[in-house]
Amino acid sequence: MEKTYKKILDLRGYTCPFPLILVQREVKKLSKEHIVEILVTDPSSCTSISLWAEKEGHKILSIENLGEYNRIILKVKARKDHR
């Protein structure tokens, strides 16, 4: 069984499209399956990150409104071109 790694991206205070751009950049660096916890204050970031994740084959495990910010839990698919 392959190990799953966890990463936290605190993007609170950024407005769209910056959270999506930063998530995309970070995910490109990952070669193994990761669980990424993303913290955002801009509600539209939840939608844009969700749509992007679905298109790229990643999975949104949850989106929670925690009052002043939202937490997105993203499961990044393992890349087949890395070992």
pLDDT, tens digit, 9 for 90 and up, residues 28-57:
988 788 999 999 999 999 999 999 999 999
* 83 inside domain: no
Counting the structural domains of the chain, the total is 1
pLDDT for the residue numbered 82? 47
* 67 inside domain: yes
Look up residue 44 and give its two tokens.
């539209």
pTM, whole model, 2 decimals?
0.88
**DSSP code at position 77:** P
pLDDT for the residue numbered 2? 56
* 51 inside domain: yes
Question: What CATH number is given to the structural domain containing 57?
Answer: 3.30.110.40
Q: Identify which has the larger pLDDT, 64 or 82.
A: 64
* 20 inside domain: yes
Q: What is the mean pLDDT of the chain?
A: 91
In the predicted structure, residue 63 carries a pLDDT above the cut 60 = yes
Q: How many CB atoms lie within 10 A of CB 46?
A: 20
